[in-house]
Structure 1
Amino acid sequence: MVDDHTQVLERILNHRFSDRTLPGRALTHRSVEGAPSYERLEFLGDRVLGLAVAEMLYTQFPDEDEGAMARRHAHLVRQDTVARVALSVGLGALMELSKGEEDLGGQSNPSLLCDVCESVLGALYLDAGHDKAQAFVRSHWAALIDEDPTPPKDAKTALQEWAQGRGLPLPSYEITGREGPAHKPLFTVTVTVKGEEPESACGASKRVAEQAAAETLLARLKAE
């Protein structure tokens, strides 16, 4: 099964790995006992993706200021966007998970899909270098960049404007949970707007969790 998955992954990436240990590691979740997981590759791939997307934005939007590009960048490397790419190329079906994780729907879990996409990028970067990794990102993120010609509005700013437009106090944010190892914490933040039910979200940093919580609350308020 691992060899089959390696072959499929190589077709997706259009690259044959010289280090034959990398594909299996890039696809293996930590729940699989006795096998090295993708966590270290995910750490590297996150940085590879961030740089690749930044380069694309710098080139494609020469007249935009840093703030506008930062908002675009945050949208393009966030969990949901990366998971969307992972699904589109079929990485979910290639993940090596414990039976427990599979039963919990791990192959369609946005968090795990994001992780495995980043780990695959990390493996590609290690084996083939920056240009090959950049080419993969360009081929799958170019259409996402073109979806909206205007920079996305920062979720916290948008929620603040929503509240101010209704004469309400500014939204408040509270850290309501933290888990995971020190090198890879996961924060839970709850956002509250007066008169509305709060919403919570998780992220790898307080800032990311705050943005995710604000986005979740905004989506619900707009739907209502």
Structure 2
Amino acid sequence: MLVKVFGSAVFGVEATTITVEVNIDKGIGYHLVGLPDNAIKESSYRIAAALKNNGYSMPGKKITINMAPADLRKEGSAYDLTLAIGILVASSQIKGDTIDQYIIMGELSLDGGLQPIRGALPIAIKAKEEGFKGFFLPIQNVKEAAIVTGLDVYGVENIQQVIDFLEGKGTLEPTIIDTRAEFYQTLDFPEFDFSDVKGQESIKR
């Protein structure tokens, strides 16, 4: 079964949508193509452990994954969640009727938890530009991405929350940020001040 899942690559301040094609067929093997770096190549070990620790499994079949465009180098571990969800849907372990409506990104821990990613804001901007309905990403990055209006941004703590959402279970809701309120709150109560910088203390005259 062939399934397409969507992630994103960030170069500078610009994001490019990456189509992850997952095909499962007769045979045995794991083939990952499309110029992935070592962090992505190692993802199979993290994915296998995360799936097992959440009651799923890495299919004992021939798994071929293509990350398109194939001539663009892909870097980092943020594609773990993208690949894992694609494998689960392609192997019919979960439903994925709406999977093509979302960008899915996140680094997996061995227990299925998610580690933060880089470039959440440009990814969200690009996702909205290209008409995606929503964006799943680690909860640590959700406030950054939720600045973008017109896109449902879901901060998730683990892979199971994404699975439950795709299968119509759970209570996952998009994060909404009131940028105007955030601006004035920061203006009135700044987190940092020049007086916090060594050598910039106030001098009494």
TM-score higher than 0.5: no
Structure with more of its chain in helix, by fraction: 1
For normalisation by structure 2, the TM-score amounts to 0.28
After TM superposition, the score normalised by the length of structure 1 is 0.26
